[in-house]
Structure 1
Amino acid sequence: MKQILDAIYENGVFRPLKNIDISEGQSVRLIVETTSSLSPEDLLNLAAQVYEGLSDEDIQEIEELARDRRNFFGE
């Protein structure tokens, strides 16, 4: 059975944030994906830095390239 759960790593142990449907002593496989500790405002500020120092024309060209999905797949 596959479950996705959030956990905190403390003192060398993963502690689930909610109760989970697993028997005591059950062997499991963990795939650890860390989440960002940045606030949404911090993430927006980082994203805005991408355009620092660029002209309006440069920004427009970048946005047009990003919207043109043909280049993503080699077409």
Structure 2
Amino acid sequence: MNFFVRFCILMVGVLLEIAGGLMLVFDLNSYNYYKERFTFIEYIQIITGSYAFYLLLIGFIIIVAGFYYPASKK
């Protein structure tokens, strides 16, 4: 895999991470965290069920694949 293809894969991963991060921030801002009882388990359940979490996860997997995919042989 040459430099250009690797760079494009990394950019796609970074863009997915940015989109997922922004969506996660907006999702968590809409959650009512001023309740008197706020548990960490509730927080994790909200995050893992959201579309933003899966965008972050896919972006991370693409970035790792772009870094660790073997380079082209000469």
Q: TM-score range by the shorter chain?
A: under 0.3
Which structure carries more relative contact order (alpha carbon 8 Å, separation 6+)?
Answer: 2
TM-score (norm 1): 0.27
TM-score (norm 2): 0.28
Structure showing the higher helix proportion among its residues:
2
